[in-house]
A = this chain, B = another copy of it.
Amino acid sequence: MRHDHLITSKQLSRADIETVLDRAAEIAADPSAVADRYSNTLLGLLFFEPSTRTKMSFETAMKRLGGDVVDMGSVESSSVKKGETLADTVRVIEGYADALVLRHPKQGAATMASEFVDVPLLNAGDGAGHHPTQTLLDLYTIRENAGLDDLTIGIMGDLKYGRTVHSLAHALTNFDAHQHFISPESLQLPREVVYDLHQEQEGTQIREHDSLEEILPSLDVLYVTRIQRERFPDENEYQKVAGEYQIDAETLEKADDDLTILHPLPRVDEIAPEIDETEYAAYFEQAHNGVPVRMALLDLLLDGGESDE
């Protein structure tokens, strides 16, 4: 992998993705081998939006590599409130850290910020833009549970606004996956995303559905996302739609025994708690996989940086 920054999963070739996933698997198999590898390394955390799992997972990853973090803290407690530009903030903080992680509510923020810094910058979400480390941990979890070859995946829920979904769908075209998109009409994939996906691979591999039932038996993986109440002007409308896209034991009667269920979390009620203890459920494992995947990424970017200088 030869990149200075990680801004979008679109910049990653199939070979790049496999390099990251292979390294993550090595690290997961023997974390002690890297436990002191970056003992003098500091990762700068710039989260301009709240986040629990992405931030904690990056922090854990850096610390599991023997390093440490310096955290800008919340926007309320920072110089941003005094009118400082993002370009100035990242240029100051790069003086404290060996790499930066940025989450920002504005699309394109990570690209812009990366142009001002010399240390590696990892995009941890830029509004409606990209969130490449989420995609990589999704791919890792799919590979561990179902394999990425000959994959048939259903992606269900809010497909209109979910950057996680668009990014994952795009990455899966590298592996010629059969992708089924299941959502109410009002939350379908944006037409331009569908168009892009068709450009990337044969059209027959992308299908849209408004019900899970017909397609469920053929799925290796079902990726569920949260339907956000605030998208609906009418509470009744939300209740109707949300109820149809909830998974419980009854829903899964027609599923393949080897089905793997994923969810980027947090969930509200898209997946009933009774599923948690079944063999289907891999969403907590998926969250935990954020650590080895981000360890692998940090290792590849920091190491690459070193051999570069």
A interface residue numbers (CB < 8 A to B): 32, 35, 40, 42, 44, 50-53, 55-57, 59-60, 63-64, 68, 70-74, 76-84, 87-89, 91-93, 95-97, 226, 265-268, 273, 284, 287-288, 290-291
The 4 closest A-B pairs by CB, nearest first: A95-B288, A84-B266, A50-B77, A60-B96
Would A92 and B59 count as touching, CB distance under 8 A?
Answer: no
Q: Which residues of chain B are within 8 angstroms of A63 by Cβ–Cβ distance?
A: 42, 68, 70
Would B35 and A52 count as touching, CB distance under 8 A?
Answer: no
Partner of A60, one of B42, B74, B89: B42
Give how many copies assemble into the complex.
Answer: 3
Q: Which residues of chain B are within 8 angstroms of A70 by Cβ–Cβ distance?
A: 56, 59-60, 63
Would A57 and B291 count as touching, CB distance under 8 A?
Answer: no
Complex CA distance for A73 and B73, rounded to whole angstroms: 10
A-B contact sample (8 more), CB < 8 A, given A51-B77, A56-B93: A52-B77, A56-B96, A82-B266, A82-B268, A83-B266, A84-B265, A84-B266, A92-B288
A265 to chain B, nearest CB (A): 6
Chain B residue at minimal CB-CB distance from A83: B268
Q: Which residues of chain B are within 8 angstroms of A266 by Cβ–Cβ distance?
A: 79, 82-84, 88-89
A47 to chain B, nearest CB (A): 8
A81 to chain B, nearest CB (A): 7
**Known: A40-B32, A95-B291. Is A52-B68 also a contact (CB below 8 A)?**
no
A84 to chain B, nearest CB (A): 4
Would A42 and B64 count as touching, CB distance under 8 A?
Answer: yes
